[in-house]
A and B are shown apart, each in its own frame.
Chain A
């Protein structure tokens, strides 16, 4: 093993039933570098981390760390730690009710008693040397999230740490806090700690890392030095399109790009999860939010529907001021929302297909006006036929249907309420190709009939096929709006990556 290398992983494979999660992935970490691990959903980032920390056993390949002559097997996070590999997870795994010092030392001291003085002294020294603004005797919950994150890092590096894994450490921090964290990361880097930085924020990667390893579909795309990899190329590699092949022509835009009368308009709308943004959609328009995972596209539409607590902004529905702070408000204003996480926010698995279909309409009518059994049956039959839902009967629990059919049921639920504006967040994820095309066709047909539709999909082609206007988001901000001739793969990617292809 070369002098400055602290960790090598060679040909790592991990198979889950039916899925090759990792296929011969190599990864090398040098002493004193910040190495970003990038990839879209399902690329294998977290699987690789979990193999490295002993959460999953690897199926093939070898792992070597500095200071050990042979290949090692890591069976548990504790064992990983004994090799000098520490992890700080996205969800801070500390106890909020304990003091900062205790959180740094609990579970790893010897003996049956606690020596508070020595512990607090040691904690104080460590915090000082790392420049973390926390006091040993402070209760952890009184620290800001960033400081809590840094306390977790202090705990991790206090054990003989050569490899520090930071799994999405910045996702709940604001800009100032991120800056604090970066300062700490650079400091640790200067001390020779190798840091694996998992994140989906592009800007942050370019700000702090030295090297990038890109994974896609469980395979290694490559390892690059940051200066030699332009952002747009990184995006292309993550999404999996070579830049040369990006000029796939888009057919004439079916939904009509001309701006018609505005149906819904938001000014500086923000929620607890999204930053303020402006947005509008015209009558009969299909538009879409695009961006990488975590760019804030889902959070934006959730704000429109009031699915997350709305914190500010002005909303107009067909020119009239509207107050939409919770989903019921949105529904009463004629907005429907098909959520990204179907299992959690969409279906009610144990209820029948029929009950799932009439759910939204029933809510709109209120408790006092139940939909009669016969009517419900008629509605269900109508939409099962119209959307081609494959189900044994209207009584079948929705949980036993396939993903695509469940999605159609949720779609039927909203169509039944005859919304003026329908938001579809990842309606085609995890469903078969045939159903995907059907849903795309349906979206275009609904738009022709005058419905406004906002469409979100991870597949850019799908977006290009259906939307006449794309709002591009990066790192939780809207960075561009593409219409007409700008709607090409390369344009979209340039805008996502920032620089070069901006439409404004």
Chain B
């Protein structure tokens, strides 16, 4: 029978297939970059720079991947990240009087500011996730609209808190911007002195989050329910999945992760600014899609997303390295690549699913 022949083939899910494509393309592209442009790409530091610059984006994208797997969307993530970074910096530099009072009253040292900044990051992120998740999951309001409102709200809040750009105090920033040095991955600079590869703490946080979210999506009932809900919400309901809770949790997690991303962003830049993390939500969506997450839901993976962020960043590096320094070239190539990826995905999925008949 026809069924038999099909059984021999090792089955692969859409999620696995799309993730594999992304990883292959990233690796291929990077090797190509080393071969053609050599120089910078040969140094491991190039890769670490990408990670350092994009740690916050990796975290945001993880959250967005979760939400997109459930078939939803969250475009407030960039705004929340920027808001959190602003609040964090202002707690650190003492421009938020509330926290100054609190710290004085509790008799804590300056170091406690970092703890408060982190706490506030988590709280703000959770608050956005909670409200948006409730409205989307329980009142069944369109996610796009709600999170668009969330985005405007967050961006507005930044300006209310401070119109002027804020800078973190040097002593505290020194703690936060400590780098992990890896001499064995070092490379010589122009004078021939070996410079060790440097990685920021934010990258470690981001990697831990990627692993945690991977485990969540793969190994827990909640994680699998995200896929079920994104695959077919009605069926998921009939199969006994708590659809509301799943959708709510997805948005809550996404909010929390944008909060953490905000803190990591602040660690990296040490500055609060109304234009921080501009279009981060769009880059995160692009990264998730390049990483094999379908906007229609039910298919996606954070490992793919992680490589999606790196792919996006590699494209930008290549554009810059090849001498097209004007910023629009990055946008144009990013757009073209996104288009290419989506076409590739639909062609691959179409071919795969044609075989079933």
Contact = CB atoms under 8 A, between A and B. Distances in A.
A143 B6 CA distance: 9
Interface stretch (B156-164, B171-179, B233-241): B233-241
Contact of A94 (B3, B239, B353): B239
Nearest to B12: A139
A380 B224 CA distance: 57
A109 B239 contact: no
Contacts of B357: 144
A144 B241 CA distance: 24
Contact of B236 (A92, A95, A108, A111): A95
A245 interface: no
A456 B240 CA distance: 41
Most chain A CB inside 10 Å of its own CB: which residue of B4, B234, B239: B239
Interface stretch (B84-92, B215-223, B302-310, B313-321): B215-223
B228 interface: yes
Interface stretch (A14-22, A99-107, A439-447, A492-500): A99-107
Secondary structure call for the A interface:
loop
B13 interface: yes
A107 B240 contact: yes
A114 B224 contact: yes
Most chain A CB inside 10 Å of its own CB: which residue of B230, B234, B238, B355: B238
Interface in A137-157: 137-139, 141-144, 147
Interface in B207-258: 218-225, 227-228, 230-232, 234-236, 238-241
Given A98-B231, A102-B224, A106-B225, A93 B219 contact: no
Contacts of A142: 6, 11, 352-353, 355-356
A222 interface: no
Contact of A97 (B7, B222, B230): B230
B200 interface: no
A133 B4 contact: yes
B298 interface: yes
B234 A97 contact: no
B117 interface: no
A95 B232 contact: yes
B14 interface: yes
A109 to B, nearest CB: 7
B356 A93 contact: no
B356 A141 contact: yes
B227 A95 contact: yes
Contacts of A141: 14, 353, 356
A95 B234 CA distance: 9
B336 interface: no
Contact of B231 (A78, A95, A135, A137): A95
Nearest to B229: A95
A114 B220 contact: yes
A247 interface: no
A366 interface: no
Secondary structure call for the B interface:
helix
Contacts of B236: 95, 106-107
A141 B15 CA distance: 13
A368 interface: no
Contacts of B6: 142
Interface string A61-103: 0000000000000000110000000000100111111110011
B299 interface: yes
A108 B240 contact: yes
B1 to A, nearest CB: 7
A466 to B, nearest CB: 41
A112 B222 contact: yes
A95 B231 CA distance: 5
A113 interface: yes
Given A114-B221, A142-B355, A96 B231 contact: yes
B240 A78 contact: yes
B220 A113 contact: yes
A78 B11 CA distance: 32
Contact of A95 (B4, B223, B239): B239
B3 A133 contact: yes
Nearest to A95: B231
Interface in A201-247: none
Contacts of A137: 11, 13
A95 B223 CA distance: 14
Given A106-B239, A147-B3, A95 B13 contact: no
Most chain B CB inside 10 Å of its own CB: which residue of A95, A98, A102, A106: A95
Most chain B CB inside 10 Å of its own CB: which residue of A77, A106, A108, A135: A106
14 contacts: A77-B238, A93-B238, A97-B15, A106-B225, A106-B236, A107-B241, A108-B240, A112-B222, A113-B220, A113-B221, A114-B219, A137-B11, A142-B352, A147-B3
Question: What 10 A-B pairs are tightest by C-beta distance, nearest first?
Answer: A107-B240, A95-B231, A97-B298, A97-B231, A133-B3, A138-B11, A93-B238, A107-B239, A93-B235, A139-B13
Given A78-B240, A94-B235, A143-B356, 16 more contacts: A89-B238, A97-B13, A97-B230, A97-B231, A97-B299, A99-B11, A106-B239, A107-B239, A112-B220, A116-B219, A135-B7, A135-B11, A141-B356, A142-B352, A144-B356, A147-B3
